[in-house]
Chain A
Amino acid sequence: MKISKVAYQVMWNRLISVVEEQAQALVRTAFSTSVREAGDLSAGVYNDKGEMLAQAVTGTPGHVNAMADAVPHFIRRIGRQNMFAGDVYITNDPWEGTGHLHDITIVTPSFLEGQLVGFFACTAHVTDIGGRGFGVDGNSVYEEGLYLPVMKFADKGEVDSTLVQMIRGNVREPDQLIGDIYALVTCNLVGDRRLQDMMAEFGLTDLSGISEFILDNSRSATLECINALTPGVAEGAMRIDGYAQPIDLKVKLTIEKDRILSDWEGTSGVDKKGINVPLVYTKAYACYALKCAIAPDIPNNAASLAPFEITAPENSIVNALHPAPVALRHIIGHMVPDTIFDALDKLLPDRVPAEGAGCLCNFQLQLRPRRDAAAPPEARHAEVLIFNSGGSGARPTIDGLNATAFPSGVMTMPVEATEQVGPVIIWRKELRAGSGGAGQYRGGLGQFMDVGAAEGHEFYLQAMFDRLAHPARGRHGGMAGAPTLIAQDDGTAMRGKGKQFVPHGRVVQMGFPGGAGYGKPEARCRDAVRRDLAYGYITSEQAAEDYGLSEDEIAEILSLASSGADF
């Protein structure tokens, strides 16, 4: 039967809806806060060759290519002849999954009348996978937790109970982790059920026709976007804090007919601690940055991703090989887009933003009863993970976003919910005045956060910050954003990365970085400067120094602002 163009249009929409349903089922049943509150997950559907046809749009660009590459690894390692209905496969291999042991990937084959027709895959970031815990301190991947090679979790419907026992015995929160794995399994089953319905409705016996339709249309749309650009070569670079010493990220971008190459030759080598990045994760963020700038409307699938080619020297920090420690691979991964934009700006003027905060400003607290004096009887142990964002870079015609994640898309947790989880008190979480880099368009503001323990507790803070010494740089005359600050309220200095003790009664004061400005500050519209001052987005000093407002003007604006005037 010949299938009409309209039917294919409907089926493509349907597959996108199927993966959204798949992702939704995961959020509903997951336990880890990173999945259900922050949206650190992904889900996709594949044809029988392992080519990704559709992927749910979730908060994790880092999973984009990684997910697209994952299923072929499963086909290769398990072997088609060993795949049966009712099977479920698992891995957390950082190099064949999504970059660190904390991401569990589950793949489920889809069978129609005994024939393998496709696959479903999903990934989620779990709170704990054993080892040293989520942090920078591992010296190799062996210290970072339990490793699950690509293998069967269930064989023809039968769950491997030995594997389950091994997992349970190696992690801090076994019920929660096994609960999360089952949530992932359920999520693929939901997808498979919908796929079967769709194939029955349209009378399909395999996915070849719809695959061809999706991949052909995506390929030609992507190539159309790329071929509309002027071919050329440009280099981009960025220096960031790193762990032991500063890290240089370097990329050469080549736009040519039908493809864009990014080569990371010249980038620093691997670090001793867990900030190294498997290539698959670098590819994901490089590809994400290019797609945002060049082809934002084209859904992610095998064909729309293929024209973006990413290479990096082995054992550079963006292509760390086993057994390098990789737990916090997100810190550098999140800096990849700004590096790409540095090069892209030279090829495509007025398209990409100035540098932003880049990596998420996350930290984990390990709280316990105080040990320096008698603790109250109700004092307890707790692990609290908090995601936060600095400011994004100013865009060519718009200000940056205040305290909003880019390139990551995950959410923060409500303060009231966090304080219900453990004995932590967040004394301050608000915009950081003056932290956005000045410019014709201002960088987004970072934020202030003051965090302490409840009476009777002390804690370790596991820091995961960058940009202490290397703030976001402005573009085309725009000024830098403010750097990261961290210290205790009595002035005790703290490091940007690593596990650090905070005694009873002390509060950690943090300033998360602002985005950089775009264009010269003197070109900024006067009304926007007046509004920024009235709202307290900029300080009086900045208004005078960066934007040249007079003392009288400043006084007049502040007085109007305090009476609630419109700006």
Chain B
Amino acid sequence: MQDGVVKKGVRLGVDIGGTFTDAVLEVAGSRYSTKVLTTYHAPEEAILDAMMQVCAKASIQPEDIEQIIHGTTLATNALIERRGAKTAFITTKGFRDVIEMRTESRFEQYDLNLKLPDPLLPRNRRYVIEERVAASGEVLVPLDVAATEKLADKLAEAKYESIAIGLLHAYANDRHEQKIADILRQRMPSVLLSLSSSVSPQMREYERFNTTIANAYIQPLMKAYLDRLKGRLEEAGAACPVFLMHSGGGIISLESAAAFPVRLVESGPAGGAIFAAEVAARHQLDKVLSFDMGGTTAKICLIQGQTPKTARVFEVARSYRFKKGSGMPISIPVIDMVEIGAGGGSLAHVDNLRQIRVGPESAGSEPGPACYGRGGTRPAVTDADLIMGKLDADNFAGGTIQLEPQKSADALIAHIGDVLNMDAGEAAWGLAEVVDENMANAARVHAIENGEDLSEYVMIAFGGAAPLHAARLCEKLGIARCLVPKGAGVGSAIGFLCAPFSFEANRSVFMPMRAFEPATIKQLFVDMQDEATKFVRSCDGTAQIELEYKIYMRYAGQGWEIPVPLEARDADNPDAARFLARFEEDYKRLFGRIVQGMEAEITVWSVNAFTPTTPPARAQAPKTVEPIETSQTRACFDPALGQAVEAQIVGRDALEMGRGVEGPALIVEDETTIVLPASRSASVASDGTIDIQVKGRGQQTKA
């Protein structure tokens, strides 16, 4: 594909997803991609297979590859499926049950038979030691060394493979954690250790302990997988360095990934967000809503200034219909996104309020939606899309799957139409509207959580199901413009190739503005700088490294901090008045007004080290657009109009720079179909991106 700039080197991006393993090979600025089925028993098999396929397409040898960047759902799945190693946890006496007591609340208020997810480690694998550090970092009770030695013998005898250590306030003083680690290493030389003060040095014990335990729990498995992968790639000739995409949207070395495997959680979706950010950069967009919809879930993320928003806590393995609070918190730097159970395979039913409900239950690929004709009898989103005319039964997935509309209609009638007195068409409309509304609501709540107004945003849609739903979502959200880039089907793997090497170091050091200490702050930043730089250096020994400084501030008494970006000179020469001014500026922007008379405080400090990426070449919008008119049409239901319309059918291949389409239309490609409702028109930019706008806005058309 052309994006105007010829990049040096041969790089491979590989994404292991739930169903497919995607590979994208970049050779001299051109990209070659493929999708193969994920091989659960040995995920490296699919990678090898995909690598050989793209090498063949590009006529190169694995030896020619200079860099492999990899993202995977394996870490996430190991946590969801509880396939980790025999792991022990050591904590402060009196706090054995932090990970089991959680927030002491129920995430669903009305279910009398609610079950809370089991903690990652049962109670008999959680051990306590006499010691105590205060919030200030001062030692209140010294570590009981003799008891620790005894415990070490016991753990050795019990043959634990991995041990997590999490002590109260260890983010403020890690001495006791380090001492325990020393004692364990002496007695168990081969055991893997995870310390809360290095895995996630942040305040709030539940999140920190859980993150540390998650790291320990998946470490033996992930380390073994990564070692095996490295070996297999070398055997196949690809002896180049292998890097991993982490949840925060950057790249780390294979060795760092093996030490902190918890940082790989949700690395695939993070790649998707990076992909969207790259498209945003090409099109010079500052406010973007990234919309990634696949077979099972949809991911929504805000991208401002061409950088995905990041957060410090993430919830993995939600056990109760994706409900907030039903999973386990992982506090690591992560791209902030909402994931909801809405994909092409999401199943619908009518509840006792006579309301149509969709997802999170999914038909998956087996049996799949009813129209696949593989035994599915319940209506899925894809069935509704087919009945509404958005999909062509004879030309789905490049013609590889013959769809059966009658089976969709039967499923819709049996599960929705008969209950609500609707025909198949109305039931399909209702189903699609509910799933679109669910996604729109998730986007709205995510925006409000971030103090943002979506009407100023441009949507970037990718993933197999997104182009079918994107324009309708825009109508619902009041978004005027939506881009569907090329390569949307393998967006995450492309994203890996666009990501920088990066590492974010974090510290929880509580400091009210009245106790502002420039010397302490300066030292703190120096330490974090060293830590972050060291990590990035381990990936690339020569590249230029840039640093970003950020603190989290709030008014004393508030619980929600806001991120406040700082400059290098603030880290070198901290000045209280400047820090406060920065905070007030950002607070006002988010919430309208500052709060007079309240003291501000700093809770978390961070330094992000990264290798700057070359900005992508700008995509050019056509100066004039010449509309394509085709004679081929299909009836397609337009929900905004509440009626069927005749939509033109246009092949995406036929759309070159400067051509355009007026809705209603369907732009068809192998992996997906872009639905253009009557309210929208589309044009093609120089990079092949389809640019969808409200009619009468944007480019001037010739017609």
Contact = CB atoms under 8 A, between A and B. Distances in A.
Interface of A: 4-7, 9-10, 12-14, 17, 20-21, 24-25, 27-33, 36-37, 39, 57, 59, 61, 173, 175-176, 179, 186, 190, 194, 197, 201, 217-218, 221, 224-225, 291-293, 296-299, 351-353, 387-389, 395, 397-398, 401-406, 409-412, 414-417, 419-420, 425-431, 447, 450, 454, 534-537, 561-565, 567
B101 interface: yes
Contacts of A352: 112
A14 B560 contact: no
A430 B95 contact: yes
B124 interface: yes
Contact of A292 (B110, B444, B560): B110
Interface of B: 86, 88, 93-98, 100-106, 109-116, 122-125, 132, 134-135, 140, 154, 157-158, 160, 168-169, 203-206, 351-356, 420, 422, 426, 429-430, 433-434, 437-438, 441, 444-445, 448-449, 451, 476, 478, 510, 555, 557-560, 591-592, 595-598, 639, 642
A13 B125 contact: no
Contacts of B134: 419, 425, 454
A218 B116 contact: no
The 9 closest A-B pairs by CB, nearest first: A428-B94, A36-B559, A535-B123, A17-B441, A296-B110, A411-B103, A563-B158, A412-B104, A419-B135
A447 B94 CA distance: 11
Contacts of A31: 555, 557-558, 598
A59 B105 contact: yes
B106 A409 contact: yes
A536 B104 contact: no
A178 to B, nearest CB: 9
A353 B112 contact: yes
A28 B560 contact: yes
A10 B124 contact: no
Given A416-B169, A420-B510, 15 more contacts: A10-B433, A20-B445, A21-B448, A27-B560, A36-B559, A36-B560, A293-B112, A297-B110, A387-B104, A405-B104, A430-B98, A431-B101, A447-B97, A454-B134, A565-B124
Contact of B124 (A353, A412, A534): A534
A504 to B, nearest CB: 15
B105 A14 contact: no
A430 B433 contact: no
A536 B93 CA distance: 15
B474 to A, nearest CB: 13
Contact of B354 (A221, A291, A405, A429): A221
A429 B95 contact: yes
A406 B97 CA distance: 19
A403 B101 CA distance: 6
A411 B204 CA distance: 14
B248 to A, nearest CB: 23
A29 B114 contact: no
A59 B135 CA distance: 29
B361 to A, nearest CB: 16
B643 to A, nearest CB: 10
- With most chain B CB atoms within 10 A of its CB, the pick from A32, A427, A537 is A427
A340 to B, nearest CB: 12
Nearest to B96: A430
Nearest to A536: B123
Contacts of B102: 404
25 contacts: A9-B433, A12-B355, A21-B444, A27-B560, A31-B557, A31-B598, A36-B560, A61-B109, A175-B597, A201-B476, A296-B112, A299-B353, A397-B113, A398-B113, A411-B103, A414-B205, A416-B135, A420-B203, A426-B94, A428-B93, A430-B95, A430-B97, A430-B101, A450-B94, A564-B125
Contacts of A217: 353-355
Contacts of A450: 94
Contacts of A7: 642
Contact of A416 (B157, B204, B355): B204
Q: Main secondary structure on chain B at its contact with chain A? A: loop
B217 to A, nearest CB: 13
B558 A36 contact: yes
Contacts of B94: 426-430, 450
Nearest to B352: A221
Given A414-B206, A536-B124, A564-B86, A404 B106 contact: yes
Contact of A395 (B112, B448, B595): B112
A412 B103 contact: yes
Contacts of B592: 186
A224 to B, nearest CB: 7
A450 B203 CA distance: 21
Contacts of A430: 94-98, 101
A210 to B, nearest CB: 14
B196 to A, nearest CB: 11
A416 B168 contact: yes
Contacts of A563: 154, 157-158
A412 B106 CA distance: 11
B103 A9 contact: no
Contacts of B168: 415-416
Nearest to A403: B101
A292 B112 contact: yes
B353 A218 contact: yes
Nearest to B420: A5
Contacts of B105: 39, 59, 389, 404-405, 409-412
A425 B434 contact: no
B114 A297 contact: no
Contacts of A4: 642
Contacts of B478: 197
Contacts of B595: 175, 179
Contacts of B103: 411-412
A303 to B, nearest CB: 11
Contacts of B135: 416, 419-420
A57 B510 CA distance: 32
Given A536-B124, A563-B157, A297 B352 contact: yes
A405 B101 CA distance: 11
Contacts of A409: 105-106, 109
B445 A24 contact: yes
A564 B116 CA distance: 22
A213 to B, nearest CB: 11
A374 B164 CA distance: 42
A411 B111 CA distance: 17
- With most chain B CB atoms within 10 A of its CB, the pick from A6, A39, A299, A420 is A6
A351 B112 CA distance: 9
B624 to A, nearest CB: 33
B104 A403 contact: yes
A57 B449 contact: no
A454 B135 CA distance: 10
A175 to B, nearest CB: 5
Contacts of A405: 104-106
- With most chain A CB atoms within 10 A of its CB, the pick from B124, B134, B140 is B124
Contacts of B420: 5
A431 B100 contact: yes
Contacts of B97: 402-403, 430-431, 447
B448 A25 contact: yes
Given A6-B429, A296-B112, A427-B94, A28 B449 contact: yes
Contacts of A562: 124, 154, 158
A33 B449 CA distance: 18
Nearest to B124: A561
A221 B353 contact: yes
Given A14-B437, A293-B112, A454-B134, A402 B101 contact: yes
A228 B646 CA distance: 48
A13 B441 contact: yes
A318 to B, nearest CB: 22
A158 B123 CA distance: 58
B448 A190 contact: yes
Contacts of A351: 112
Contact of B426 (A6, A32, A194): A6
Contacts of A417: 203-204
